[in-house]
Amino acid sequence: MSTDPTPLGPIAASALGKVAVLMGGTSAERAISLMSGGGVLAALQSLGVDAQAFDPAERDLSELKRLGIDRCFIALHGRHGEDGTVQGALELLGIPYTGSGVMASAVAMDKVMTKRIWLAEGLPTPRHVWLPPGEHGIDQVCRVPAQLGLPLIVKPPREGSSIGVTKVTASDDVDRQMQDAVALAAKYDADVLCEEFITGEEVTCPVIGEGAEAHALPVIRIRAPEGAYDYQNKYFTDAVQYQCPSGLPEAEEREIQRLALASYRALGCRGWGRADLMIRATDRQPFLLEMNTSPGMTSHSLVPMSARSIGMGYDQLCLLIVSQARLDAPPSAARPVTAAVA
């Protein structure tokens, strides 16, 4: 397993052509996307790249052709940005884009489908119960704690940034907790995912590249106040502590990197991504939670933090990612820039 980053070297900004940074969009993560996109845009422009902002919520994607855009950096998060829909539109327009293709983006966005693939590949992920539309009644919902134990997590399977997530704990009103948690998740998704809660440490591991050439970056250890690694603490406070290097035993770090790579490859991801995991306290067993195919690029984001620990600055990271933009097919229509980043 290779865990070294792509070697750095000079690259001419002019080789990238005109770049559109897609940001904003219509998902519940719009505000975070605007923060990510703003950072990426400033970084690319500082390196001399002919880059401009493009918000699909305000402009039709067909304008990208009229503007003569040569490639897109997708800084969209959530629905209609990270779920294969924008990727499919860019395929039809013939404009190369960053990150995973249509299928991998769609599958990774759906945590239920992701789990099915990981389980088929023998990769560890917490036990779960899927509640599809029509099965949100009190009888189905209140049976879940007996199946998964308590505490457990209830979430919309096609949202990110901890939106619509509830931790259900043991108490006299657990039935009410479950009903409220499912009702909240159902505001964001027709399906609801209930998941075994893994007590332990939260970690994340970015991956860059494709296939056999993909590389896992250093693991980040996440220490949130009272375990509340929620939307507010992720993006708008400094209460969360991040350790990178992680300080984990070398064998644990290597195993997490191995699982991150295996999970990324199993889903067919490319370009870049970030696997989130929990390490169970009782036996130090890591469990895969989700794969992010368009990770955040804000001041609090984790991929830049991991890259920085090996000497790759934010600007360099943005340039490396956009240099690898391509289409699903035909490959010859969207060859990545082969030189790496200065």
The residue annotated as part of the active site, out of 82, 253, 276, 315, is 276
Could you confirm whether 274 is annotated as catalytic? yes
The residue annotated as part of the active site, out of 292, 301, 306, 323, is 292
The residue annotated as part of the active site, out of 97, 229, 231, 235, is 235
The pLDDT profile of the chain, 342 residues, written as one tens digit per residue, is 444 444 445 678 889 999 999 999 998 889 999 999 999 999 999 999 999 999 999 999 999 999 999 999 999 998 899 999 999 999 999 999 999 999 999 999 999 999 999 999 999 999 999 999 999 999 999 999 999 999 999 999 988 767 899 999 988 899 999 999 999 999 999 999 999 999 999 999 999 999 999 999 999 999 976 655 445 544 445 678 999 999 999 999 999 999 999 999 999 999 999 999 999 999 999 999 999 999 999 878 999 999 999 999 999 999 999 999 999 976 554 455 655 444
The residue annotated as part of the active site, out of 161, 294, 301, 306, is 161
Could you confirm whether 263 is annotated as catalytic? no
Strand 50-54: give its sheet, edge to edge: 50-54, 18-22, 71-74
Q: How far is residue 114 from each of residues 49, 185, 246, 263, measured CA to CA in Å?
A: 35, 18, 26, 9
**The CATH number of domain 107-125+199-308 is 3.30.470.20:** yes
Could you confirm whether 315 is annotated as catalytic? no
Phi, psi of 277 (to 5 degrees): -140, 160
Only one residue has tokens 């970030």, namely 274
If 0-12 CB within 10 Å is exposed, 13-18 middle and 19+ buried, where does residue 83 land? buried
Q: Which class is 128-196 in CATH?
A: alpha beta
- 95 contacts 328 by C-beta, under 8 angstroms: no
Could you confirm whether 296 is annotated as catalytic? yes
Task: Give residue limits of the domains in the chain.
Answer: 107-125+199-308, 128-196
Could you confirm whether 158 is annotated as catalytic? no
The residue annotated as part of the active site, out of 27, 29, 33, 188, is 29
Q: 47-82: per-residue pLDDT in tens?
A: 999 999 999 999 999 999 999 999 999 999 988 999
The residue annotated as part of the active site, out of 290, 301, 323, 326, is 290
Instruction: Please give the model's pTM, rounded to 2 decimal places.
Output: 0.89
